[in-house]
Amino acid sequence: MTTRNTANQDETLKRHFNWHDYARLGHYLRPYTVRLVLVLGSILIGNVAVVLGPFLMKLAIDQAIPQRNLPQLGALGAVFFISLLIAWACFRYRIWAITAIGQNLLIDMRTDLFTNLQRLPFAYFDTRPHGKILIRVVNYINTLSDLLANGLVNLISDVISVGVTLAFMFAINWRLTLDSLGLIPLLIIWAYVVQKKQRTAFRELSNKQSNLNAYLHESIAGIKVTQGFAQEAAATANFDAIADDNRQAYMRAVKIQYALSPGVQNISTLTTALIYFIGIQQLGVVVSTGTLIAFIGYVNNFWNPVINIGNFYNSLITATTYLERIFETMDEQPTVRDADDAFDLPPVKGDVRFRNVCFQYEADGPLILDHVSFHARPGQTIALVGPTGAGKSTIINLLARFYNVTSGQLTIDNVDSQRVTLASLRSQVGVMQQDTFIFSGTIMDNIRYGRLDASDADVLRAAKVARADDFIQTLPAGYQTVVQEHGGSLSAGQRQLIAFARVLLADPRILILDEATAAIDTQTEALLQAGLAELLKGRTSFIVAHRLSTIRQADQILVIDHGQIVEAGRHAELMAQRGVYYELYDSQYRLLQATE
Ligand SMILES: Nc1ncnc2c1ncn2[C@@H]1O[C@H](COP(=O)(O)OP(=O)(O)OP(=O)(O)O)[C@@H](O)[C@H]1O
């Protein structure tokens, strides 16, 4: 069953985190193995340099100072100074290398996610707020790559540091070392108790963050409607409610998250006390003053990384809630995709047939197209007309295979469109949506979107034929004028003309056009008609028609109602039938006649 999600609703994930996901993360780290090994080497050297400190101190206290051996004391000081320098150099290298690895990981993961998103069918985007997709690509990946690069290396560094410290401790006094580790089981139990609750709390939090992002995204997209209807207060109230949910979830999550570190701190302090207790009792027997002082230093050296490991563990638990969302998107399989034995559609003449096509957007949804059959011959212009919600746009969505037909068959030059590769199909089917999308960038780039390898001269030629050149020349920087996403600074008619030029440049054999309904001044209208006439030449065209002139000139008019073709023919024939088209014409188009 398809479930639609909204900004106010928590998402239910198709898959939950499992431990294999960590192994999958390893795949992202593999290309950086050499650099990681270098980082680890630097960490090891740096650690030895740091851990040497208390040991040198012990030698100074137990030997050099009591024996008043100044040369030895000087040598110990020099070694100490050099070890500090080495530690500093290793630290610097580590920061640089980890940052570089982190940034590369970020790009790798984001690219994989983005690539999959590009392949996903409309149905995927129809069913969820886009803000919830955005947060996965931007924020979650950020957190994860940081954890992977920084966290993982810190973890290894900490583990090495614990290991090196332990080795020194064992070498100096193994019994005191074992006593120092006596409280570790307590720590493990505590971490286990906390992690379970933490995971649930963070899953809840990421849901709330996702909702907030979705609402924000939707509000910005809909700002004109909000302001137009003076609904700012209502939008703010809605935002406040979602933001408050987010705050509450955050407070709950943080309360649990920070339950771990005080526990670790307390156990660390207890251990120090224990060492003082045992050490002082046995002072002079098995423990020298130098050893006791070195051990107090080592306990810090030991517990600081253990606290860090605890924190890493914490972040890891948090990250699993992001990880499961990222992998869910990466694993989402496009329902509209090339069949295993798909082949390239050879260059077509443009013969299109629908045979008993039925279609539902959702498996459990209503039948939107009900046994639709028609035949468009190469070069014909087919106008699709009918009341709102009849299924006209759905027919053109199927033509470009934005969705697969539920049953029946759609052929192009007698080849089933489901059997060919999407790329070969779509390169021969040009689609112009009613609301042309303009990308941020120059007008030149926006037209070139139709065929990325087109030269500037090709773009200019297409713009001239599409009648877009005149208005572009009047813009401040002509073809180099920068427009924003959605083309807010252009008029509806101008956006249409750019879309014409874009499609002309792509030069598809089959053209699909959802004619704009926006009222346009007569001069632009004339331009659009001339541009359209150029566009239709020599192509099989399907037009969801709103202009009377387009409808009248069509070779076939398909009248759609409730997902069925109820009438088909040319304008004069259909008028003569005095059926649905006649009624429609009478109620909707006669008024237009006055303006055309
Ligand atoms: N993405 C979708 N998911 C589910 N149902 C949809 C989707 N798009 C459209 N529908 C439904 O399919 C039916 C046909 O819609 P369609 O957009 O094809 O109508 P139309 O004839 O193009 O209407 P209009 O002239 O208003 O654009 C409508 O009932 C609509 O609610």
For a mutational test of ligand 1's pocket, the pick from 368, 513, 515, 588, i.e. the residue with the most ligand atoms closer than 8 A to its C-beta, is 368
Are 418 and 464 contained in the same domain? no
Are 144 and 190 contained in the same domain? yes
CA dist., res. 384 & res. 289, Å (int): 95
422: pLDDT strictly greater than 80: yes
Would 9 be classed as within a structural domain?
no
**What's the average model confidence in pLDDT over 572-578?**
90
Residue where a domain stops, chosen among 507, 529, 548: 507
Domain coverage including residue 310: 20-331
Highest mean pLDDT pick, 134-143, 426-435, 447-456: 447-456
Q: Check residue 78 and give its pLDDT.
A: 93
Are 461 and 421 contained in the same domain? no
Are 326 and 408 contained in the same domain? no
**Which phi-psi region, left, alpha or beta, contains residue 508 (left: φ > 0; alpha: ψ -120 to 50)?**
beta
Would 525 be classed as within a structural domain?
no
Beta bridge partners of 6: none
**What's the average model confidence in pLDDT over 273-282?**
82
14: pLDDT strictly greater than 80: no
Would 551 be classed as within a structural domain?
yes
Highest mean pLDDT pick, 103-112, 135-144, 192-201: 103-112
Is the CB of residue 180 less than 8 Å from the CB of residue 271?
Answer: yes
Instruction: Give me ligand 1 centre to Cα 361, in Å.
Output: 9
CA triple 503-506-510, angle to 5 deg: 75
**Residue type at position 302:** F
Would 270 be classed as within a structural domain?
yes
Give the nearest ligand 1 atom to 386 CA. 21
* Chain segment 152-208, per-residue pLDDT in tens: 777 877 888 888 888 888 888 888 888 878 888 887 888 788 877 888 888 888 889
Are 497 and 391 contained in the same domain? no
Q: Check residue 518 and give its pLDDT.
A: 56
More confident residue, 67 or 549: 67
Confidence of residue 353 (pLDDT cuts 50, 70, 90): very high
Of 316-320, 538-542, 571-575, minimum mean pLDDT range: 316-320
User: What is the three-class DSSP state of 557?
Assistant: strand
Are 207 and 114 contained in the same domain? yes
Cβ atoms within 10 Å, residue 223: 12
CA dist., res. 338 & res. 355, Å (int): 21
Residue where a domain stops, chosen among 482, 507, 532: 507
Beta bridge partners of 37: none
**Residue type at position 171:** A
515: pLDDT strictly greater than 80: no
In this structure, the residue with its CA closest to atom 26 of ligand 1 is 388
Q: How many helices (H) and strands (E) does the chain have?
A: 24, 12
The pair of structure tokens assigned to 321 is 């809630």
Are 242 and 325 contained in the same domain? yes
**What's the average model confidence in pLDDT over 380-406?**
91
| Residues sharing a CB contact under 8 Å with residue 113, sequence separation 6 or more, in sequence order | 136, 137, 141, 326, 329, 330
Task: Determine phi and psi for 270, rounding to 5 degrees.
Answer: -60, -40
Of 5-9, 54-58, 454-458, minimum mean pLDDT range: 5-9
The CATH number that applies at residue 476 is: 3.40.50.300
Q: What is the DSSP string of 217-250?
A: HHHHHTHHHHHHTT-HHHHHHHHHHHHHHHHHHH
ipTM for the whole predicted complex goes beyond 0.85 = yes
CA dist., res. 114 & res. 566, Å (int): 42
**What's the average model confidence in pLDDT over 261-273?**
81
User: What is the three-class DSSP state of 341?
Assistant: coil
Q: Check residue 591 and give its pLDDT.
A: 61
Are 47 and 80 contained in the same domain? yes
The CATH number that applies at residue 188 is: 1.20.1560.10
Q: Check residue 568 and give its pLDDT.
A: 92
Q: Check residue 384 and give its pLDDT.
A: 93
Q: Is the CB of 369 under 6 A from ligand 1?
A: no
In this structure, the residue with its CA closest to atom 9 of ligand 1 is 394
Q: Which letter, b or e, does each residue of 61-86 get, where b requires 16 or more Cβ atoms within 10 Å of its Cβ?
A: bbebeeeeeeeebeebeebbeebeeb
Residue where a domain stops, chosen among 271, 301, 331: 331
Are 170 and 45 contained in the same domain? yes
Would 293 be classed as within a structural domain?
yes
Would 275 be classed as within a structural domain?
yes
The pair of structure tokens assigned to 104 is 């590369």
Q: Is the CB of 545 under 6 A from ligand 1?
A: no
CA triple 572-536-432, angle to 5 deg: 110
Instruction: Give me ligand 1 centre to Cα 394, in Å.
Output: 6
* Chain segment 61-105, per-residue pLDDT in tens: 888 888 888 898 899 999 999 998 998 999 899 888 888 888 888
Is the CB of residue 155 less than 8 Å from the CB of residue 273?
Answer: no
349: pLDDT strictly greater than 90: yes
Instruction: Give me ligand 1 centre to Cα 366, in Å.
Output: 11
**What's the average model confidence in pLDDT over 571-582?**
89
Nearest partner of 426 among 398, 387, 459, judged by Cα: 398
Instruction: Give me ligand 1 centre to Cα 168, in Å.
Output: 73
Instruction: Give me ligand 1 centre to Cα 160, in Å.
Output: 61
The pair of structure tokens assigned to 150 is 């920084």
Please say whether the dihedral angle defined by the alpha carbons of residues 262, 268, 272 and 273, taken in this order, is positive or negative: positive
For a mutational test of ligand 1's pocket, the pick from 126, 370, 394, i.e. the residue with the most ligand atoms closer than 8 A to its C-beta, is 394
Q: Where are the strands (E) in 56-134, listed by range? A: none
209: pLDDT strictly greater than 70: yes
376: pLDDT strictly greater than 50: yes
* Chain segment 487-501, per-residue pLDDT in tens: 677 888 888 889 889
Are 413 and 459 contained in the same domain? no
In this structure, the residue with its CA closest to atom 28 of ligand 1 is 389
Q: Check residue 1 and give its pLDDT.
A: 41
Instruction: Give me ligand 1 centre to Cα 387, in Å.
Output: 11
CA dist., res. 109 & res. 26, Å (int): 12
CA dist., res. 104 & res. 541, Å (int): 46
Confidence of residue 558 (pLDDT cuts 50, 70, 90): very high
Is the CB of residue 405 less than 8 Å from the CB of residue 359?
Answer: yes
Would 387 be classed as within a structural domain?
yes
Give the nearest ligand 1 atom to 126 CA. 1
Instruction: Give me ligand 1 centre to Cα 122, in Å.
Output: 13
Confidence of residue 224 (pLDDT cuts 50, 70, 90): confident
In this structure, the residue with its CA closest to atom 5 of ligand 1 is 361
For a mutational test of ligand 1's pocket, the pick from 5, 361, 431, 513, i.e. the residue with the most ligand atoms closer than 8 A to its C-beta, is 361
Q: Check residue 190 and give its pLDDT.
A: 81
CA dist., res. 400 & res. 427, Å (int): 10
CA dist., res. 52 & res. 60, Å (int): 12
CA dist., res. 82 & res. 550, Å (int): 85
For a mutational test of ligand 1's pocket, the pick from 392, 546, 565, i.e. the residue with the most ligand atoms closer than 8 A to its C-beta, is 392
Considering the chain, what is the average pLDDT of its residues? 85
Would 336 be classed as within a structural domain?
no
* Global confidence as pTM: 0.71
CA dist., res. 44 & res. 42, Å (int): 5
Q: Is the CB of 391 under 6 A from ligand 1?
A: yes
Is the CB of residue 239 less than 8 Å from the CB of residue 219?
Answer: yes
What secondary structure letter does DSSP report for 138? I
In this structure, the residue with its CA closest to atom 12 of ligand 1 is 368
Q: Is the CB of 388 under 6 A from ligand 1?
A: yes
Give the nearest ligand 1 atom to 394 CA. 18
Q: Check residue 594 and give its pLDDT.
A: 53
When divided into structural domains, the chain yields a total of: 3
The pair of structure tokens assigned to 211 is 């909702």
Q: Is the CB of 389 under 6 A from ligand 1?
A: yes
Q: Check residue 3 and give its pLDDT.
A: 62
Edge-to-edge strands, sheet with 415-416:
369-376, 352-359, 407-412, 415-416
Q: Check residue 300 and give its pLDDT.
A: 75
| Rounded percentage of the chain residues whose pLDDT exceeds 90 | 27
Are 439 and 550 contained in the same domain? no
The pair of structure tokens assigned to 47 is 């650690």
Are 86 and 180 contained in the same domain? yes
**What's the average model confidence in pLDDT over 343-363?**
93
Q: Check residue 164 and give its pLDDT.
A: 83
Nearest partner of 577 among 214, 346, 586, judged by Cα: 586
Q: Is the CB of 393 under 6 A from ligand 1?
A: yes
Give the nearest ligand 1 atom to 390 CA. 21
Beta bridge partners of 568: 558
In this structure, the residue with its CA closest to atom 6 of ligand 1 is 361
Instruction: Give me ligand 1 centre to Cα 131, in Å.
Output: 23
**What's the average model confidence in pLDDT over 555-579?**
92
Q: How far is CA 326 from CA 98, 101, 104, 111, 214, in A?
A: 22, 19, 17, 12, 16
CA dist., res. 413 & res. 346, Å (int): 9
Q: Is the CB of 394 under 6 A from ligand 1?
A: yes
Q: Check residue 589 and give its pLDDT.
A: 65
Q: Is the CB of 364 under 6 A from ligand 1?
A: no
Quickly tell me which residue has 């190469």 as its tokens: 378
What secondary structure letter does DSSP report for 517? -
**What's the average model confidence in pLDDT over 409-417?**
95
More confident residue, 324 or 566: 566
Nearest partner of 126 among 410, 393, 436, 420, judged by Cα: 393
